[in-house]
Structure 1
Amino acid sequence: MTNLPLKEVKRQLRKQLKSNLKTITQDSLIKQSHLIHQNLLNHEFFKTANNIAVFMNMPDSEVKTMEIIESCFKLGKSVYLPRCNYVSSPGRKSNYMSLLEMPSLEAIHQLKPQGKYQLLEPLTGNDAIETGILDLIIVPGVAFDKNKNRMGHGAGFYDEFITTFHNKFKRKPYLLGVALQEQIVDYIPTEPHDWKLDSIITSTNVY
């Protein structure tokens, strides 16, 4: 039993997981991502969702999402991508996330790396926080547990977005995590502002 503050426990767990994730081979990453994509296509909520937010993955430590994005467009779904903003906005944290609608797959292929993590981020697009049109968010994370708790990178972008969306529209989108086997842990400590996921998909299971 640890007496460390919760934030320190999470920091240490995050550090350990990030270290572990560096050992994943590209072959394993590609295979797991493909199986997760197949499991997602069979997920009942994904089938019925029309407006879906998908993250752009980091190259070596997250589920590869381009196959998911391509399927969304093929199925006629609207796709939203995250943009991290590092300026203040009324009613938002000084660092906050927008989820912007993408007009086409071609527009995504033309995106340039942006921000701290050099991810492909849109510069413009209809923001779901303004329109309220969002059915499903496919959520990234450093770690997940089988009770559908998630630990992100520590900036709080997704939790803040979901809270803001919920407060504004009195509902929340369905929250679906996609996780590599190496990202599933026995237990994730949580804080009051942490949102529990509705489902988690791995290459072998759906929780």
Structure 2
Amino acid sequence: MKASVRKSILKKMKGLEPENKRKADRALIQRLRSLSSYQEASVIATYLSFPHEVDTSFLIDAALEDGKQVVIPKTYPKGRMEFAVYNPQKLKPTAFGLLEPEDGAQAVDQSEIDLIHVPGVAFQKDGYRLGYGGGYYDRYLADFDGATVSTIYACQEVDFAPAPHDIPVQEVLVDESTI
């Protein structure tokens, strides 16, 4: 079930018209920047996006411009993840085809992160999400006390049965123009 939902939504995301997608990405990041959880945050965690996801380079640039510290995930075996300070000169490719901080990057304690911008493939209105299947974010968010938000396209909204270990994000911003 989860695999077929992922496959279907990924196909829709990859089929978005590039110009519409770019406009939606910018609009979603602007909406995220207007949230009080963003405005009050000093340290923001986000991810380096795949081409079919909301382009997080807009968020990274805006957050740095807004004087915030940006941290990005670094993954380890057995689903372990931590966040490290974003440094575009010190990234390496992962097995997933994404960039992440090089080994030895400065890790940031979870208690220092104010807001996590959470990725995913499918989302319910109440914040439950299907990621890419590694469980990294659910494990990390299980004891995270800060704010969480996701930015998604309308095609990513779907009903599914969350697993008992799934941790919902607090807020899901949806771009309705990408239906």
Task: Please report the TM-score for the alignment, with normalisation by the length of structure 2.
Answer: 0.90
Partner of 2:134: 155
Does 2:160 match 1:188? yes
Partner of 2:148: 175
Secondary structure at the counterpart of residue 132 of structure 1? helix
Q: CA deviation at 1:100?
A: 0.6
Amino acid at match of 1:77: K
- Identity rate, percent: 26
Partner of 1:4: none
Does 2:171 match 1:199? yes
Q: Distance in 1 between matches of 2:111 and 2:106?
A: 10
Partner of 1:72: 63
Q: CA deviation at 1:63?
A: 0.2
Structure showing greater radius of gyration is: 1
Partner of 1:89: none
Q: CA deviation at 1:22?
A: 2.3
Amino acid at match of 1:125: A
Secondary structure at the counterpart of residue 179 of structure 1? strand
Structure 1 gaps, min length 5 = 1-8, 87-93
Displacement over 6 Å in runs of 4+: none
Maintained 8 Å contact 2:63/2:69: yes
* Between 47-56 and 196-205, the greater mean CA deviation after superposition: 196-205
Partner of 2:35: 43
Does 2:72 match 1:81? yes
Secondary structure at the counterpart of residue 202 of structure 1? strand
Q: CA deviation at 1:117?
A: 2.3
Secondary structure at the counterpart of residue 112 of structure 2? coil
Partner of 1:33: 25
User: What's the CA shift string for 1:102-124, capped at 9, x where partnerless?
Assistant: 3xxxx32x244511222121114
Q: Distance in 2 between matches of 1:100 and 1:66?
A: 16
Maintained 8 Å contact 1:39/1:203: no
2:113 corresponds, among 127, 134, 140, to: 134
Q: Distance in 2 between matches of 1:183 and 1:14?
A: 9
Which structure's residues are more often strand, by fraction? Answer: 2
Maintained 8 Å contact 2:111/2:145: no
Amino acid at match of 1:203: D
Maintained 8 Å contact 1:97/1:161: yes
User: Aligned residue pairs: how many?
Assistant: 176
Partner of 1:15: 7
User: What's the CA shift string for 1:5-41, capped at 9, x where partnerless?
Assistant: xxxx212211221222221122122111011011111
Maintained 8 Å contact 2:138/2:166: yes
Maintained 8 Å contact 2:153/2:176: no
Maintained 8 Å contact 1:51/1:133: yes
User: What's the CA shift string for 1:43-69, capped at 9, x where partnerless?
Assistant: 11111011110111001x200011110
Secondary structure at the counterpart of residue 149 of structure 2? strand
